[in-house]
């Protein structure tokens, strides 16, 4: 039996001495091709069928392993540290990749344009403004107005003012603002008093009170001058000439007879002796001066109470255009004065000093609830309009497109850092069921087309015979040893029984020798 077991594997190849075969090839090496083919057919048709694989793939245990593998794969993928893209791109394709990135960035810029033009921008800005106002309501503005920020504000204001002053659009902007202001005044029902500061009204009234006595005094002095009679004569002569020029010829001749130069001179002398002296004396009367001042005040009050629309309606178009042009030119000329920048920067500095001690809540109180809300709404609307302007969209696109070459050198980092904390769980929940459905639908059909029998046959043919023998001995070594023992024992018994008929001592010696030889052979093979 030991020899038979040994000859199952040995020799691996026939032992020949020239053309003579001394030992035949072992049984298993000789029939290994047929054995491999039979094993492959058995595995494919009976042991590992597509139905068996389908049931195994659909089992809960495999689903748990599938979910665990998907989870671990997503975790490795999202937590992997990624470097820059440039080492991954061949130099010959860098221009193509940069062009592709440029197109992607243009699409991103277009998306930003659409977002900035949408209604949700105003809503988000309003929410941010409300949140910032509530969070920073009790903090002094001085905490926000750091020295560096104040220096930046001053420098920015100086640059802004210099650019605005040098811009050729300044005159157009000022003239447009003046035109819009005058147009608004032309439709305003508010009185002139609304646009004139109360301080200016009081200053005007004080000036009138001081100026009326002075003006009357100057008028009386003027009436007392010798040149006044000469001017009065000239005025009377021009008036008489104008009256006579409008009459018929015979009336004009008759009038010339009565209104001669001598008659005009006598009339002027009489008016000077009587009326002018009395008028000059009356102008020094305090009561007359008070009445005149009160009349002027009343006229000024009535003028201030008239709607601005009525004042503007009395202006002819030529005068309005003249005022518009004159105001615009004077404003532009004033803005170009070198002291204006210093004044503006000083106003900005004083304003920042005043704001530093205030809180946002104090600013809201100073403005009033309605004005604070209106200011917040206007600020949000102005910022939203500025963000939605084509200029901002173009700037964003240029900025993004300019970064396309630099993006190739930027380390990408871990994808998980750009995603929410539960990104792995969400990705697993999103992908698990679709991938599981694909596995259940496609894998069994693909496995059914796999030539399992050929694969098993090829693997067995490629497997070394020495390893096959070692594998069989590892698996069935005890059973093979038992077969050898049993064969040796039975052979010894049969041989000894045959010898017992001849000689008892020879039979016992032969039995012991057979048992010893079997034991030594099995131990050597093991």
**pLDDT (tens digit, 9 = 90+) per residue, 266-295?**
544 544 444 445 545 555 556 655 666 666
- Cα distances from 460 to residues 40, 376, 400, in angstroms, run 9, 82, 61
Largest CA distance in the chain: 207
CB atoms within 10 A of CB 266: 11
Residue 18 counted as domain residue: yes
pLDDT tens digits, residue range 382-415? 778 888 888 888 888 888 888 888 878 888 788 8
User: Strand locations in 287-407, DSSP E?
Assistant: none
Residue 366 counted as domain residue: no
The pLDDT value given to residue 419? 79
pLDDT tens digits, residue range 421-441? 888 888 888 888 888 888 777
Residue 227 counted as domain residue: yes
Structure tokens at 273: 């002796």
CB 494 within 8 A of CB 515: no
> Which conformational region is residue 146 in: left (phi greater than 0), alpha (psi within -120 to 50 degrees), or beta?
beta
Domain's final residue, options 306, 326, 342: 306
Domain's final residue, options 306, 327, 357: 306
Residue 218 counted as domain residue: yes
- Of 339 and 76, the one with more pLDDT: 76
Domain's final residue, options 279, 306, 333: 306
The average pLDDT across 188-195 equals 69
Question: Above 60 in pLDDT, residue 361?
Answer: yes
Percent of the chain beyond pLDDT 90?
0
Backbone angles phi, psi at 79, to 5 degrees: -100, 5
Q: Which domain holds residue 257?
A: 191-306
**3-state secondary structure labels for all residues of 114-177:** HHHHCHHHHHHHHHHHHHHHHHCCCCEHHHHCCHHHHHHHHHHHHHHHHHHHHCCHHHHHHHHH
Residue 294 counted as domain residue: yes
Helix, strand, coil proportions of the chain in percent (round to 5)?
85, 0, 15
CB 44 within 8 A of CB 453: yes
Residue 115 counted as domain residue: no
**Tally of domains within the chain:** 2
Helix 338-356 crosses helix 147-166 at what angle (to 10 degrees)?
Answer: 150
SS3 (DSSP) at 23: strand
- CA–CA dist 66, 78 (Å, integer): 18
Binned at pLDDT 50, 70 and 90, residue 521 comes out as low
- Cα distances from 302 to residues 186, 192, 267, in angstroms, run 19, 10, 39
- CA–CA dist 104, 111 (Å, integer): 11
The pLDDT value given to residue 499? 62
Residue 418 counted as domain residue: no
Residue 36 counted as domain residue: no
The dihedral formed by the CA atoms of 219, 223, 229 and 232, expressed in degrees to the nearest 10: 40
């Amino acid at each position: 039996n030991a020899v038979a077991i040994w000859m199952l594997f040995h020799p691996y190849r026939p032992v020949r001495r020239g053309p003579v075969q001394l030992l035949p090839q072992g049984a298993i090496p000789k029939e290994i091709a047929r054995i491999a083919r039979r094993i492959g057919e058995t595995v494919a048709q009976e042991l590992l069928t597509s139905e068996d694989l389908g049931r195994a793939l659909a089992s809960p245990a495999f689903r748990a392993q599938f979910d665990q593998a998907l989870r671990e794969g997503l975790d490795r993928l999202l937590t992997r540290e990624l470097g820059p893209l440039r080492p991954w791109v061949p130099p010959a394709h860098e221009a193509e990749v940069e062009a592709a990135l440029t197109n992607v960035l243009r699409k991103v810029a277009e998306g930003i344009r659409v977002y900035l033009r949408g209604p949700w921008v105003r809503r988000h800005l309003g929410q941010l403004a409300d949140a910032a106002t509530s969070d920073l309501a009790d903090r002094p503005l001085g905490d926000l107005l750091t020295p560096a920020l104040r220096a930046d504000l001053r420098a920015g204001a100086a640059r802004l003012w210099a650019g605005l002053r040098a811009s050729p659009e300044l005159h157009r902007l000022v003239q447009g603002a003046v035109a819009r202001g005058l147009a608004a005044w032309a439709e305003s029902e508010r009185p002139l008093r609304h646009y004139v500061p109360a301080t200016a009204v009081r200053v005007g009234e004080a000036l009138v009170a001081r100026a009326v006595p002075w003006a009357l005094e100057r008028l009386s002095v003027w009436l007392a001058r010798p040149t006044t009679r000469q001017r009065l004569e000239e005025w009377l002569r021009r008036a008489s000439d104008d009256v006579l020029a409008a009459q018929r010829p015979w009336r004009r001749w008759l009038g010339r007879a009565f209104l001669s130069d001598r008659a005009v001179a006598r009339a002027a002398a009489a008016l000077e002796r009587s009326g002018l002296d009395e008028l000059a004396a009356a102008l020094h009367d305090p009561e007359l001066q008070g009445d005149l001042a009160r009349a002027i005040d009343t006229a000024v009050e009535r003028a201030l109470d008239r709607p601005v629309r009525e004042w503007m309606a009395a202006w002819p178009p030529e005068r309005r255009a003249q005022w518009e042009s004159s105001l615009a030119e004077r404003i532009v000329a004033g803005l170009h004065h070198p002291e204006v920048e210093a004044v503006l920067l000083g106003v900005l500095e004083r304003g920042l000093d005043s704001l530093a001690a205030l809180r946002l809540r104090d600013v809201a109180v100073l403005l009033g609830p309605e004005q604070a809300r209106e200011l917040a709404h206007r600020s949000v609307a102005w910022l939203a309009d500025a963000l939605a302007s084509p200029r901002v969209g173009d700037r964003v696109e240029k900025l993004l497109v300019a970064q396309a070459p630099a993006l190739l050198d930027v380390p990408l980092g871990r994808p998980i850092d750009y995603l929410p904390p539960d990104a792995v769980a969400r990705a697993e929940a999103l992908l698990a069921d679709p991938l599981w459905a694909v596995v259940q639908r496609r894998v069994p059909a693909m496995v059914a087309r796999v030539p399992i029998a050929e694969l098993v046959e090829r693997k067995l043919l490629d497997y070394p015979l020495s390893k096959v023998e070692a594998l069989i001995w590892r698996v069935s070594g005890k059973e093979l040893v038992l077969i050898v023992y049993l064969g040796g024992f039975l052979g010894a018994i049969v041989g000894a029984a045959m010898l017992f008929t001849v000689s008892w001592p020879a039979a016992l010696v032969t039995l012991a020798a057979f048992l010893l030889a079997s034991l030594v052979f099995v131990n050597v093979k093991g």
